[in-house]
Chain A
Amino acid sequence: AQKITQTQPGMFVQEKEAVTLDCTYDTSDQSYGLFWYKQPSSGEMIFLIYQGSYDEQNATEGRYSLNFQKARKSANLVISASQLGDSAMYFCAGSSNTGKLIFGQGTTLQVKP
């Protein structure tokens, strides 16, 4: 079974600066995926970025990039040029080939003007 750990309950970042949200995973699967979702105060789950275990390049989507270090079993999310609208809860999640997602406990990010 997978386990996802997010050790930062809360983070602050100044507007326009970059921030890294940590995520470590533990799995015995050979093939797996790692996801980041954003949950604003309105409650919906917004997909941000995905990294497959066999992908050699780190995934990027606009201002989001995933710093994937397989040997360290980490999949950190980097948000560049933070905006006030980035204030939200961020969840790291892992999946196996069944598609089931295992979520971490989340990190609350607050962007300061």
Chain B
Amino acid sequence: NAGVTQTPKFQVLKTGQSMTLQCAQDMNHNSMYWYRQDPGMGLRLIYYSASEGTTDKGEVPNGYNVSRLNKREFSLRLESAAPSQTSVYFCASRDYSLVEQFFGPGTRLTVL
């Protein structure tokens, strides 16, 4: 099992460009989450999907959109990137029967 995978690992964008961060899990988990981590800070929830077909906002949703493509995949889109979105982005997944969230390796995004 690969667990939670994220692509790309690194990305540099110019202000105003758009991009989609991809996340996939092979553990048949119901819930998936997107977090961002700014330097020296804890993770903050951007969006989550409690189950296939549902998405909800977290603490810091502005400037982002998400798509739960199927049970395995949950993508995060930046429509018009801003320097304030420079961060490390983590995807996570969880099964209803478990308490633990399993995290992907992260995507380091820099917006110039």
* Partner-B contacts on A (CB < 8 A): 4, 33, 35, 43-45, 47, 50, 52, 91, 93, 95, 98-106
- A44 CB contact (under 8 Å) in B35, B59, B103: B103
The complex places the Cα of A50 from the Cα of B48 at a distance, in Å, of 21
Chain B interface residue count, CB cutoff 8 Å, equals: 24
Question: With A43-B88, A43-B106, A98-B50 in contact, is A103–B44 under 8 Å at CB?
Answer: yes
Q: Are B45 and A91 in contact (CB under 8 A)?
A: no
Q: Are A100 and B48 in contact (CB under 8 A)?
A: yes
Q: Are A47 and B100 in contact (CB under 8 A)?
A: yes
Apart from A100-B45, A101-B92, what 15 extra A-B contacts exist at CB < 8 Å? A43-B106, A44-B103, A47-B100, A47-B101, A47-B102, A91-B43, A93-B43, A99-B50, A99-B94, A101-B43, A101-B45, A101-B101, A102-B45, A105-B40, A105-B42
* Partner-A contacts on B (CB < 8 A): 31, 33, 35, 40-45, 48, 50, 58-59, 88, 90, 92, 94, 99-103, 105-106
Least Cβ distance of A99 to chain B in Å?
5
Question: With A44-B106, A100-B45, A105-B42 in contact, is A50–B50 under 8 Å at CB?
Answer: no
Question: With A44-B103, A47-B101 in contact, is A103–B50 under 8 Å at CB?
Answer: no
Q: Are A45 and B99 in contact (CB under 8 A)?
A: no
The complex places the Cα of A44 from the Cα of B103 at a distance, in Å, of 8
B contact residues around A101 at 8 Å (CB): 33, 35, 43, 45, 92, 101
* Chain B at the A interface: SS class: strand
The complex places the Cα of A104 from the Cα of B42 at a distance, in Å, of 6
The complex places the Cα of A46 from the Cα of B100 at a distance, in Å, of 10
Question: With A43-B105, A44-B105, A45-B90 in contact, is A103–B43 under 8 Å at CB?
Answer: yes
The complex places the Cα of A35 from the Cα of B42 at a distance, in Å, of 13
B contact residues around A104 at 8 Å (CB): 42
Look across to chain A and name the residue whose beta carbon is closest to the beta carbon of B88: A43
